[in-house]
Chain A
């Protein structure tokens, strides 16, 4: 028979010990110091966004919605609008991502799954190095290599064979002329986007590779042990696990491509019109507009430029927030504890 132990009535009743949750001593200092750092960073970064928004108010008051729909940027005629530069920005960024995404994904997969083990650290370093190459160097390569050797010829070939697509049509040039007009095919959104693609590719690739490398080894081995081929393993384990990283890395690259300045400024010739053709000379982006016009700008024009920057910031913000939501929803951010 089970007997309950007799409790000594004289002893005080057992109460659960209180766990100390308050920080003591050095921990309190640590918490306060890091909270102060966090608050100051919040103050610095938040004030920039607030400042940009506050500076945009007068511009929107003066020009209203036409600031977003007007194509021309003529301060002397008091006509300011960013429709053309916005479209140019989106064109270049989208094209750059279209070029960079498959290459970045392939490189990340190659490094994490296919490369021989001895080669992996070198490849990781090379991709990081590619991310470290300054954007102006890509701009130089775009101007003096792509634009002089191959770029215009390829644009002409696209015009001749795929000219029925509005993207590759160059209306001001005759593709079958005996001597083709090379000047119509240079300084275009197409060449700028190749340079920008080379710039955003390693960023996207680094994010993807990082996530792929966190794939649980056990799940990969389970797939292989069940008889999967390597690609089957990649398709069913690595890619689903890394989906957040793939989308997040791509969006991060898109955000960078939207804001890229110097390579675009070096390559394109500024033009303020919305056009379908990506291989024709002349386009412009918001950031190139700011870099080109800030010097001679009066106070009100500076405010307009800040507004243009604010709109660009808002677009990249939406893109990045979308990326953050996707990454947080996926398993990739869940940490490495099983």
Chain B
């Protein structure tokens, strides 16, 4: 209001706008959470889809049973979602909504498969698990028809741990060392190593077992032993771990390396203090994937270790059992009680894998007291710089 020259009119009192005078608010575009209507359309579409599927499969078509209801429900749900979205939105919205549903559905199927696998194994194998002797006893002198409170799989657990321990002790330094060589040193020779290592990840585990069987057991005449088995596992795991570590180290940002080198650190210090810590979660995942294959892989062990029914502490001393091998022979025997024992051992194997897995995850997790340690390392040089001049 320009009121500099003209005399103020009589109504020149400042009017504060009241809420009633404002134009009606525009509906705000939701950027985050769906509105109530959208949520109703989403949930309602799926309810309608499953209702339609129930009528189709259970009443109209001869496709009774829960599995068909779920399959048809998913398809009908997609159709109804497409129709309801098309009523308000464009083709782009329909595609967005449909793909979100399909992707979520795929993830749910995968999780259900995992849940089914684990639940089924524990349900079939819980009976021997309630007997304590199952964990520490061995199968020496236990017949296939003996009740479950006799005998156990202690020897197989021990064998698995020894074999895997040796295999990790061999493959982890070699694998990570090779990866460091391929990434940090480089050159023509490193490219050759990378090519061969990548090629050898294609080696099927059974061929790794057969290789050790032919060279060490048949060729050198050394009887089957835990050591041979762990060598077979190592042969199988080494390229896997080396390659996975290589991939992980390669994605460490080059800027971090250059910053460290520019600050005057040597290459070794750069690797040890910058590259490896940055890649630690990835390295742990690489190790997990390698160990997961190593502990559960039956085929190399099947060819190389033989199956003892008693405790063996020395890996170089004759036959040795391990969990996968025990499961394999127990299930293959066809004796109902042995099959139950096999499922029990499978549950234990799953539990061992789970424990290893959680441990590796905890190790891989960035330290929770990171902020504190950072502060400490920051403070210390300050003190020095204050005191030394």
Query: A305 at interface (Cβ–Cβ under 8 A)?
Result: yes
- Residues of B contacting A123 with CB < 8 Å? 107, 111
Contact with B along A68-98 (1 / 0, CB 8 A): 0000000000000000000000000000000
> A322 to nearest B CB, angstroms?
11
Question: Is A126 an interface position by the 8 A CB rule?
Answer: yes
Docked complex: B225-252 residues within 8 A CB-CB of A: 235, 238-239, 242, 250-251
Given contacts A136-B327, A150-B67, contact A231 B99 (CB under 8 A): yes
Kindly identify which residue among B175, B177, B184, B361 contacts A125, using a CB–CB cutoff of 8 Å.
B361
Are A132 and B296 CB-contacts (below 8 A) given A106-B102, A258-B204, A324-B198?
yes
Stretch in A35-43, A167-175, A269-277 touching the partner = A35-43
> Does chain B have a CB within 8 A of A319?
yes
CB distance from A100 to the nearest CB of B (A): 9
Partner-contacting stretch, out of A6-14, A137-145, A183-191 = A137-145
B202 CB within 8 Å of chain A: yes
Q: Contact residues of A with B, CB < 8 Å?
A: 23, 25-27, 29-31, 33-35, 37-42, 44-46, 48-49, 51-52, 55, 102-107, 109-111, 113-115, 123, 125-138, 140-141, 143-145, 150, 198, 201-203, 205-206, 214, 229-232, 234, 255, 258-262, 266, 286-287, 290-291, 294, 299, 302, 305-306, 309-310, 312-313, 316-317, 319-321, 324, 333, 335-337
Binds A, one of B2-10, B117-125, B147-155: B117-125
Q: Which residues in B have their C-beta under 8 angstroms from that of A49?
A: 196, 199-200, 203
Residues of A within 8 A of B182 (CB): 38
Q: How far, in whole Å, are A333 and B183 apart by their CA atoms in the complex?
A: 13
- Please state if A45 and B349 are interface contacts (CB–CB under 8 Å): no
* A-side contacts of B308, CB under 8 Å: none
Q: Is the CB of A198 within 8 A of B113?
A: yes
9 A–B contacts from the bound complex (CB under 8 Å): A27-B266, A30-B271, A39-B189, A52-B211, A106-B106, A106-B107, A109-B103, A136-B346, A290-B210
Known contacts A33-B177, A38-B182, A110-B104, then 18 further A-B pairs from the complex at CB < 8 Å, ordered by chain A residue: A51-B211, A52-B211, A110-B106, A111-B107, A114-B100, A114-B104, A114-B107, A126-B111, A130-B110, A133-B118, A134-B295, A140-B343, A259-B207, A309-B210, A313-B203, A316-B203, A320-B202, A335-B251
Q: Are B121 and A140 in contact (CB under 8 A)?
A: yes
Q: How far is the CA of A331 from the CA of B199 in the complex (A)?
A: 22
- The total of interchain contacts (Cβ-Cβ below 8 angstroms) comes to 292
Report yes or no: A128 in contact with B288, Cβ–Cβ below 8 A.
Answer: yes
Question: Closest Cβ of chain A: how far from B328's Cβ, in Å?
Answer: 6
In angstroms, Cα B255 to Cα A54, docked, is 46
**Which chain A positions have C-beta within 8 A of B197?**
41-42, 45
Most buried by A among B116, B203, B205, B349: B203
Question: Cα distance A7–B251 when bound, in Å?
Answer: 49
Chain B residues near A294: list those with CB within 8 A: 210, 213, 303
Give 1 or 0 for each of B289-312: 1 = CB within 8 Å of chain A CB: 101100111110011000000000
B262-299 with Cβ < 8 A to chain A: 266-268, 271, 285, 288-289, 291-292, 295-299
Known A41-B197, A129-B357: A35·B181 in contact at CB below 8 Å:
yes
Q: Judging by beta carbons under 8 Å apart, are A230 and B202 in contact?
A: no
A229 in contact with B239 (CB, 8 Å): no
Q: Is the beta-carbon distance between B200 and A45 smaller than 8 angstroms? A: yes
For residue B356, which residues in chain A have a CB less than 8 angstroms away from its CB? Answer: 132
Q: Considering the complex, give the chain A residue whose CB is closest to the CB of B296.
A: A134
Specify which of A102, A127, A259, A287 is in contact with B106 (CB 8 Å cutoff). A102
Q: What's the nearest-Cβ distance from chain A to residue B94, in Å?
A: 10
CB distance from A307 to the nearest CB of B (A): 11
Cβ of B114 and Cβ of A262 under 8 Å apart?
A: no
Q: Is the CB of A231 within 8 A of B96?
A: yes
CB of B331 within 8 Å of the partner chain? yes
Contact of A232 among B96, B250, B271 (CB under 8 A): B96
User: Smallest distance from the beta carbon of B224 to chain A beta carbons, Å?
Assistant: 11
The answer to whether A48 and B361 have CB atoms under 8 Å apart is no
